[in-house]
Amino acid sequence: MAAIELSGLTKVYPGGVKALDALDLEIPDGEFFALLGPSGCGKTTLLRTIAGLETATGGAVVIGGRDVTGVQPGGRDVAMVFQDYALFPHMDVTDNIAYPLRIKKVAKDARRDKAAEVGARLGLDHLMDRRPGQLSGGQQQRVALARVMATQAQAFLFDEPLSNLDARLRLEARTFLKKLQRELGVTTVFVTHDQAEALAMADRMAVMEAGHIRQIGTPAEVFQRPANTFVAGFIGSTPMNLLDGAVRGDTLEVAGHKVAVPASAGGLLSDGEKIVYGVRPEYMSYSAGPVDGALGGKVAIVENLGASHLVTLDVNDVTVQAVVPEGSEPAVGDEGYATPRRDRALVYRDG
Ligand code: ADP
Ligand code: MG
């Protein structure tokens, strides 16, 4: 097991796409680290560069204190699980799991024993003689995991390993994988474009955009204190309200209303400055009648979220959303007042 350190890591593909732009990242030994970002931001490239499947254009990869920048994939002692699992269709489960051990020239009996042990651990013991085509998506995913575990690598690299599973299996696999990583304690980099998955699974996470890391932190830090409007807009099951505003003396003007300066921004603002005011729909209190400091308007849409509703208000032609508990949701066309929580609202200057 080992820490992973990246410094100034850059990857420019032939043709000129800069997929990684001087990334710095330190992942301590044993951490479950999620790498989150939209499609095309460089997640797979980063993982493949750590694994040695891509050659870095610049910078260094250090695994377990050893500089492996120029080392071939086989010499890096990391194991990667791909999005499509990359199982061998003509091999049974045992041989698929044992394959990396065969490459390492481990004796046949020892290979079978190891495959049986790991397979049992992942609940595959009754499926060891089947081929991938005779398994469900969830079972195939477990075989891919088992193959990685059998190698006893210093680090696991996962590239969107749950994205081919249906919604319910995906939730199960999330819990299962997280538990397994805890037990094994192997440093893990888990790539996903699903913010909920990253928040649920990670010890720490990075949010990437266009070859850059925009924020690194615990899920709680990234959720509650997104560092910029990109991260703010990307994280959360309902997108954060990001509203253009301006500083007016000791208050803010947002969507034609006066709102209090958020606790986190006190003292930093100058009169007249343009800002972006951010507050999550979950951090609004909602009422049907006028309230001081509220963003008041007309209810345009009411969406059922199950135990709550997402109410979209038209506030002087600006869209403002609030999550409203079950039972107190308004009807379309009603007046509505959403009051941001001052301790949860944020001010951005990068909008
Ligand atoms: P992600 O995994 O976040 O979707 P990728 O790492 O696959 O992103 O891609 C990052 C960028 O690099 C994209 O613009 C993509 O088109 C480009 N890219 C990826 N692989 C190659 C390649 N082999 N050759 C050229 N460009 C590539
Ligand atoms: Mg990818």
Closest CA to 62 of 45, 49, 80, 43: 49
Phi then psi for residue 133, to 5 deg, are: -65, -15
pLDDT of residue 268: 75
Q: Judge if 183 and 112 occupy the same domain.
A: yes
Q: State pTM to two decimals.
A: 0.90
- Which amino acid residue places its CA nearest to atom 10 of ligand 1? 42
Neighbouring-strand partners of residue 159: 191
> What's phi and psi for 254, nearest 5 deg?
-135, 125
Q: How far is the CA of 197 from the centre of ligand 2 (A)?
A: 15
Quick one: pLDDT at residue 150? Answer: 85
pLDDT for 266: 65
Do residues 175 and 301 share a domain?
Answer: no
Domain with 342 in it: 241-348
* pLDDT of the residue at 183: 87
Per-residue model confidence (pLDDT) at position 351: 67
Q: What is the pLDDT of residues 33-58, one digit of tens each?
A: 999 999 999 999 999 999 999 999 99
CA 16 – CA 3 distance, rounded (Å) = 31
Three-state DSSP at 165 gives: coil
* CATH number of the CATH domain containing 136: 3.40.50.300
Q: Do residues 24 and 165 both lie within one domain?
A: yes
Whether 300 and 202 map to the same domain: the answer is no
- Residue 118's φ and ψ, nearest 5 degrees, are -70, -40
CATH code at position 280: 2.40.50.140
Count, in order, helices (H) and strands (E) of the chain: 8, 20
Distance, in Å, from the CA atom of 127 to the CA atom of 130, rounded to the nearest integer, reads 6
The count of domains in the chain is 2
Q: Which ligand is nearest to the CA of 19?
A: 1
How many Å apart are CA 217 and CA 33, to the nearest integer? 10
Task: Say if residue 50 is in the same domain as residue 99.
Answer: yes
Task: Tell me which residues of the chain have a pLDDT lower than 50.
Answer: none
Q: What is the reported pLDDT for 81?
A: 85
What are the distances in angstroms from CA 188 to CA 124, 145, 154, 283?
A: 22, 12, 9, 32
In this structure, the answer to whether residues 146 and 295 fall within a common structural domain is no
Helix (H) or strand (E) holding 244, with range, is strand 241-248
Among 213, 234, 255, identify where a domain stops. Answer: 234
Let me know whether 170 and 219 are in one domain: yes
Closest listed ligand to the CA of 21: 1
Based on the fold, state whether residues 175 and 75 are members of the same structural domain: yes
Q: Compute, in angstroms, the gap from residue 23 CA to the centroid of ligand 2.
A: 17
| 327 touches ligand 1 (CB under 6 Å) | no
- Same domain membership, residue 337 and residue 201: no
pLDDT, one tens digit per residue, over 277-296 is: 999 999 999 999 999 989 99
Give 228's DSSP letter.
S
Are residue 121 and residue 228 in the same domain, yes or no? yes
Are residues 289 and 151 part of one domain? Answer: no
Q: How far apart are CA 132 and CA 143, in angstroms?
A: 9
Atom nearest to 47 CA in ligand 1: 6
pLDDT for 180 equals: 84
